[in-house]
């Protein structure tokens, strides 16, 4: 039976990280050159980790399935990155960032990890400024800040609506410098297919060259997964279409525990679904909620007339509009956390007040802010976002309100890791969105970039040494071992098996069906009967998949359909585990909303006596039920109480 050891350091909360660093094992510079580290993924978490580890002297092998590290999904992040600099002098502090993050995650995250995240946040900004990241600045030259949901202060640093791209370019240039110096071997177009374990430790990977189809072996003293989240299990999401769970899932099947798989985030500010043949959804940055006001018609008859096209949003007078977030949550208004804003939008639309052709949309209106600040100011802050919206919808948001609706966005769940970011497999580490550690049941806006860079630049470079200090006498080893043979054989047989099904249905046919099951029963609202139905339907869909899938093309060639099929095979298994986890957690918290457990006002109702823990699931074998292990969450500095944003 797998045992969980969170390895939280002793001492007061604000001294834990300092104490850890003061007492950890280190690897001297001469020995660092003898140690190899595989880093899978080149987004913010992966690129920053690879660059930092190589800068320290380790030899790094970096992998991405894209044609360039710059294509990682981190470029899609728009709104900003949090840090407790308190530049606006509005009362922010490390403790307040820590508190907001714990509260925003509905008290389901590990206290020590979150405090460390807040503690290193300021270093991230200094690092990125030194790299030349073009953060927005005030007239006097100081870095600008704006507000995001779940906070009463302005702590979000940004580069218009393309913060993720600019931060990734900073990490990419640091990574490129180490590639040129020979400390990083870069392997683009190479997808991890399997984890290799030797004597109980992660010692390498099997990767597939996506151009030739060739399977290749790579060894190392440790493996770092920075492979992002699994929102594409829902098919329609704001994730890049190639984003997947496969590296993490294959590690789960080799013994790594998977933490809180049912905790996924619904983002409230996305462009609504517009048709059956749509393949992804587009995020409109949460930063828009700083100046945009969210509303629906106050009267159902007006909403019906808008849906029929008889009137437009501009025809409704002010007294006919319901600014429902400002009405329900006066303290935070339009800047409530994402899970709260998403459920409120769903509630209004389900009650018949939604707009758009489908009725599954609400308005995000900039009329008041344009009148107050001027169009030029709004354009300077959000111009590229407005341009993107107009290109997609053919509507001018300066003149008519945007239409938005919640969509799948982020995975708070992921591989279980301890304080050192190490999984339950020794030598296997997980960073960024690939792990579960920092966001609990709901991630606050602008915290994904913060966690990815914190893990890569300032956490993993310390903690991985605590493990590698015991590996300095382990020489570099050949991949010609029985363990590598077995892992490659297993992968090859799986690929051949998928190619040989030769049914009549495409990969997307099955993926869309899975997405509809997940959205209907494991989406914004869940209940016991729906979750049981989801488990049954996913199992039937998986049988159909292995009986009737058809993959065109060749095995040993560039074959995007085969890539999608391998990822979908993992999604079909993950989807069932997500439903099982949601069924087991008989409470509502953050993005996990069980309809049976809500307050009289429709808010999430936690059960802290029964469910104040991390659910870590372990693989028991094909066809066997997974085992769930609990990591109790202990709060020493925070009073656990019902969230209130009113």
CATH number at residue 498: 1.20.58.100
Closest CA to 16 of 495, 314, 420, 402: 420
Q: Which residue in the list 338, 443, 585, 594 is annotated as catalytic?
A: 338
Domain shared by 370 and 509, yes or no: no
Would you say residue 47 has pLDDT above 70?
yes
Give the CATH number of the domain where residue 386 resides.
Answer: 3.90.700.10
Our count of domains for the chain comes to 2
Within 10 angstroms of residue 311's Cβ, the number of other Cβ atoms is: 14
Three-class DSSP category at 321: strand
Looking only at the bridges linking them, the beta strands covering 36-40 and 222-225 are parallel
Angle in degrees, CA 173, 230, 72, rounded to 5: 15
DSSP for residue 623 = T
Q: pTM to 2 decimals? A: 0.97
Q: Is the domain of 402 the same as that of 513?
A: no
Judge if 382 and 502 occupy the same domain.
no
Of the three residues 409, 438, 469, the one that is the final residue of a domain is 409
What residues contact residue 341 under an 8 Å CB cut-off, 6+ apart? 149, 268, 269, 289, 294, 325, 334, 406
Mean pLDDT of the chain: 97
| 405, 541: one domain | no
**322 within a domain of the structure (yes/no):** yes
In a domain, 398, yes or no: yes
pLDDT at residue number 2: 82
Residue 581 within any structural domain of the chain:
yes
Structure confidence at residue 133 (pLDDT)? 97
- pLDDT confidence bin for 276, thresholds 50/70/90: confident
**87 occurs within a structural domain:** no
* Residues 610, 486 share a domain: yes
User: Same structural domain for residues 397 and 312?
Assistant: yes
Instruction: Locate the DSSP E strands across 467-561.
Output: none
Report the distance separating Cα 419 and Cα 11, nearest Å. 14
pLDDT tens, 149-184?
999 999 999 998 899 999 999 999 999 999 999 999
**Active site annotation includes 550:** no
Q: 391 with 271, same domain?
A: yes
Same domain? 623 vs 493: yes
Question: Could you say which of 366, 388, 409 is where a domain stops?
Answer: 409
Q: What is the pLDDT of residue 65?
A: 98
115 occurs within a structural domain: no
Residue finishing a domain among 354, 379, 409: 409
Same domain, 524 and 611: yes
- The three state secondary structure string of 411-433 is ECCEECCCCCCECCCCCEEECHH
Is 474 within a domain?
no
Q: Nearest-CA neighbor of 281 among 238, 342, 242?
A: 238
Q: Is residue 10 part of a domain?
A: no
The pLDDT tens digits for 86-120 are: 999 999 999 999 999 999 999 999 999 999 999 99
Q: What is the pLDDT of residues 574-622, one digit of tens each?
A: 999 999 999 999 999 999 999 999 999 999 999 999 999 999 999 999 9
Which whole number is the average pLDDT over 323-336?
A: 97
* β strands within 465-557, DSSP E: none
Whether residue 487 sits in one domain with residue 626: yes
Mean pLDDT computed over 385-392:
95
What percent of the chain is modeled with pLDDT above 70?
100
**pLDDT for position 256:** 98
37 forms beta bridges with: 60, 222
**454 within domain boundaries:** no
Range of the domain at 308: 267-409
Domain match, 512 and 402 both: no
pLDDT tens, position by position, 203-242: 999 999 999 999 999 999 999 999 999 999 999 999 999 9
625 and 496 within one domain: yes
């Amino acid at each position: 039976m797998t045992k969980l050891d969170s390895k939280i350091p002793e001492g007061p909360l604000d001294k834990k990280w300092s104490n850890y660093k003061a007492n950890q094992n280190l690897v001297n510079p001469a020995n660092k050159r003898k140690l190899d580290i595989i880093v899978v993924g080149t987004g913010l978490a992966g690129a920053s980790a690879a660059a930092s580890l190589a800068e320290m002297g380790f030899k790094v092998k970096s992998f991405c399935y894209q044609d360039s590290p710059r294509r990682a999904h981190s470029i899609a992040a728009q709104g900003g990155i949090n840090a407790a600099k308190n530049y606006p002098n509005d009362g922010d502090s490390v403790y307040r960032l820590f508190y907001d993050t714990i509260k925003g995650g509905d008290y389901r995250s590990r206290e020590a990890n979150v405090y460390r995240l807040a503690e290193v946040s300021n270093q991230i900004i200094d690092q990125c400024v030194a790299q030349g990241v073009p953060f927005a600045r005030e007239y006097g030259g100081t870095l600008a800040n704006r507000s995001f949901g779940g906070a009463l202060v302005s702590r979000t640093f940004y580069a218009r609506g393309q913060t993720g791209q600019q931060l990734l370019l900073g990490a990419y240039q640091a990574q490129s410098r180490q590639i040129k110096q020979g400390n990083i071997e870069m392997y683009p177009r190479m997808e991890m297919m399997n984890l290799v374990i030797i004597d109980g430790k992660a010692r390498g990977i099997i990767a597939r060259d996506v151009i030739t189809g060739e399977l290749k072996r790579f060894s190392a003293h440790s493996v770092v997964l920075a492979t992002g989240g699994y929102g594409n299990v829902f098919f329609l999401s704001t994730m890049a279409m190639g984003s997947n769970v496969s590296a993490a899932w294959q590690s789960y099947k080799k013994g790594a525990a998977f933490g809180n798989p049912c905790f996924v985030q619904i983002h409230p500010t996305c462009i609504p679904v517009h048709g059956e043949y749509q393949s992804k959804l587009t995020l409109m940055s949460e930063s828009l909620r700083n100046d945009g006001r969210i509303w629906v018609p106050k009267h159902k008859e007006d909403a019906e007339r808008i849906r029929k096209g008889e009137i437009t949003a501009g025809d409704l007078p002010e007294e006919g509009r319901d600014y429902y977030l400002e009405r329900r949550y006066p303290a935070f208004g339009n800047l409530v956390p994402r899970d709260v804003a998403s459920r409120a939008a769903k509630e209004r639309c389900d009650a018949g007040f939604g707009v758009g052709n489908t009725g599954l949309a609400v308005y995000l209106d900039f009329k008041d802010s344009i009148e107050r600040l001027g169009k030029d100011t709004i354009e300077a802050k959000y111009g590229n976002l407005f341009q993107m919206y107009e290109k997609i919808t053919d509507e001018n948001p300066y003149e008519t309100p945007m239409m938005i609706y919640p969509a799948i966005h982020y995975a708070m769940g992921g591989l279980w890791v301890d304080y050192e970011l190490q999984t339950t497999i020794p030598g296997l580490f997980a960073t960024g969105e690939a792990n579960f550690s920092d966001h609990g049941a709901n991630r606050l806006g602008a915290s994904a970039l913060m966690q990815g860079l914190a893990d890569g630049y300032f956490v993993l470079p310390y903690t991985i040494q605590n493990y590698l200090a015991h590996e300095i006498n382990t020489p570099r080893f050949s991949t010609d071992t029985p363990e590598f043979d077995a892992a490659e054989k297993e992968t090859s047989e799986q690929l051949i098996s998928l190619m040989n099904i030769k049914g009549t249905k495409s990969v997307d046919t099955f993926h869309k069906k899975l997405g509809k099951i997940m959205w209907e029963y494991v989406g914004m609202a869940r209940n016991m009967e729906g979750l049981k139905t989801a488990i049954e339907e996913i199992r039937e869909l998986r049988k159909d998949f292995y009986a009737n899938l058809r993959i065109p093309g060749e095995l040993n060639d560039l074959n995007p359909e085969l890539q999608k099929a391998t990822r979908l095979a993992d999604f079909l298994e993950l989807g069932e585990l997500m439903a099982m986890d949601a069924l087991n957690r008989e409470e509502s918290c953050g993005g996990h909303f069980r309809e049976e457990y809500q307050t009289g006002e429709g808010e999430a109702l936690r059960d802290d006596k029964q469910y104040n823990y991390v659910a870590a699931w372990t693989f028991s074998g094909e066809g066997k039920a997974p085992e769930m292990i609990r990591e109790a969450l202990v709060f020493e500095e925070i009073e656990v109480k019902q969230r209130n944003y009113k």
